Chain A
Amino acid sequence: MSRRTALKALGATLGAAAFAQAIAPLTEWAADMSVDEYLQKHYKELSPVDLAMVIARLEQRTKEETGVEVHIGDYRPQPGVKFGYALNLSICVGCRRCAQACHVENNHDRPSGNSYIRVLEMQKGSMDLAKGRVNYSGPVPNPEKFYLPVQCQQCDKPPCVSVCPVEATWKETDGIVVVDYNWCIGCRYCEAACPYHARRFNWKKPEIPAAEINPDQGYLSNRIRPQGVMEKCTFCLHRTRQGKLPACLEACPTGARVFGNLLDPESEIRWVLKNKRVFVLKEDVGTQPSFFYFFDE
């Protein structure tokens, strides 16, 4: 064997090994994904039969992996309903029970303590979100502070939707901005675009003890997310599209949260918009939120 041949062989071997090493994560990832899943169409293009099969597959997989029987529903927007949320900052005491309820309801990753709600402790007289502190401890409320829970504002002009390169996120007719977890490529543009820091990235597949999995799941909301995709508050659409109140509202001990149909003139959310001096966060950026804040007179 000539020196040249030997070097060539060595080079080829090293190259092949390096290549194999480089694509190793890809093969591991692919083991977790079936061909069906890889070829799955966008949510909006799935026929009812396709979607039923997709849901059956997801339910089956959760059963295999965790032993838990879950029900994943495909809840669609109701005609004549557009959701609005209002939060009374005079009443909120900063107890963070809303963030905790979100964590439990939406099958969030337990080790990282994920939640779609962040409660900021703000200096009275200031609306500078950058100065809000999340690491506050009790007792609350501190008389010099007020507490500002921030979650997805379900904007009418959502920057997260317009930056998505693959249309994996969109706004539905009832105002909720949703994510197709099976279409999202995890580029995190939406996370960067959101002025409210409302989007979360699944760095790993959420870990939840089987006994704590919420089995009442929505395809576009709280089903257990795959690794590497974005997620966000959906106003608990698996609850609210069935007429129920969102989990964060039910957890609020003071009644600071008001939820309802903006298109119903008799609704409580409309009463708040009409009678309270409401404002939205970062109005100047033009996102037109469906989430309102107010102080009592």
Chain B
Amino acid sequence: MMLRAAPILIGVALVSVALAGQWMIGGGASLEGRGGAREVRADAEGDAAVIARTAPRVSAGLVDYHGVEAGVSCMTCHSTREPDRANGLGGALPKTFHQGLAFAHAGMSCLSCHHADDYDSLRLADGRKLAFRDSQQLCAQCHGPQTRDYLNGSHGGMTGYWDKSRGGRVRNACIDCHDPHAPAYPALIPVFAPRDAAARQQAEREQRHHRHE
């Protein structure tokens, strides 16, 4: 059932991510260009879908003949160069690549999460490889309470059905809202300014108060 619904869910996911991009401001790189194709798959319970990303492609800071931003696989460079294990916060990364990446994730280094022997994989704390599509497990190593809440449906946006017997859900993954390199949730401009009586009365009250001062 999930397989048949997958194309629709992907559509929903892409639309919602596109919409989300419009009102996020400041803080961190944009959602687009952080790389990796989005895919939708069932979670462990089989009743919900999670948006995951495949291995990212890094912006080369160049555009191709068609004006499309050129992205390269991490392994394009990293298959031939020795990993710089001493590099801490990514400040000294070659500027040609790793464009648009902000680094504000505690005191972690690149190789805390990226696997030095296979840059198309992630690295768990014990050194095991982890596919990019399973990145939530990586987050879960440190963010226990958030993972617990996520697994119990009380962290992260979702759409679909509360009644699992009648339909599935699409859930955001951690990195849909938190840039893994700078995970603080971005500040937002609130939408839909109130225009009802409560708003008018408050405006008048505050104006009176202002005059008295």
Contact residues of A with B, CB < 8 Å?
Answer: 86, 88, 91, 93-97, 99-100, 103, 112-115, 118-119, 133-141, 197, 200, 240, 242-245, 249-250, 252-255, 258-261, 267-268, 271-272, 275-276, 296-297
Contacts and interface: CB of A to CB of B under 8 A. Distances in A.
B193 interface: yes
Given A96-B194, A275-B152, 15 more contacts: A88-B154, A95-B190, A97-B191, A100-B192, A113-B196, A136-B190, A242-B166, A243-B161, A243-B167, A244-B162, A253-B20, A255-B156, A255-B158, A260-B153, A296-B149
Interface residues of B, number: 40
A243 B167 CA distance: 8
B191 A135 contact: no
B11 interface: no
Contacts of A99: 192, 194
B189 interface: yes
Contacts of A243: 161-163, 165-167
B26 interface: yes
Contacts of A139: 25-26, 187-189
Contacts of A137: 189-190, 193
Given A134-B199, A243-B163, A253-B20, A268 B153 contact: yes
A143 to B, nearest CB: 10
Nearest to B150: A255
Interface string B137-181: 000000001000100111111111111011101001000010000
A115 B159 CA distance: 20
Q: Please provide the 9 A-B residue pairs with the shortest distance between their CB atoms, ordered closest to farther.
A: A243-B166, A268-B153, A243-B163, A100-B192, A138-B189, A139-B187, A255-B156, A113-B195, A250-B159
Interface of chain A: mostly helix, strand, loop or mixed: loop
A137 B188 CA distance: 10
Nearest to A246: B162
B162 A260 contact: yes
A118 B149 CA distance: 26
13 contacts: A96-B191, A97-B191, A138-B188, A138-B190, A139-B189, A140-B187, A200-B196, A244-B163, A250-B160, A255-B156, A255-B158, A268-B152, A272-B152
A252 to B, nearest CB: 6
B96 interface: no
A113 B194 contact: yes
A277 to B, nearest CB: 13
A267 B164 CA distance: 10
A253 B157 contact: yes
B106 interface: no
Given A135-B199, A139-B25, A94 B154 contact: no
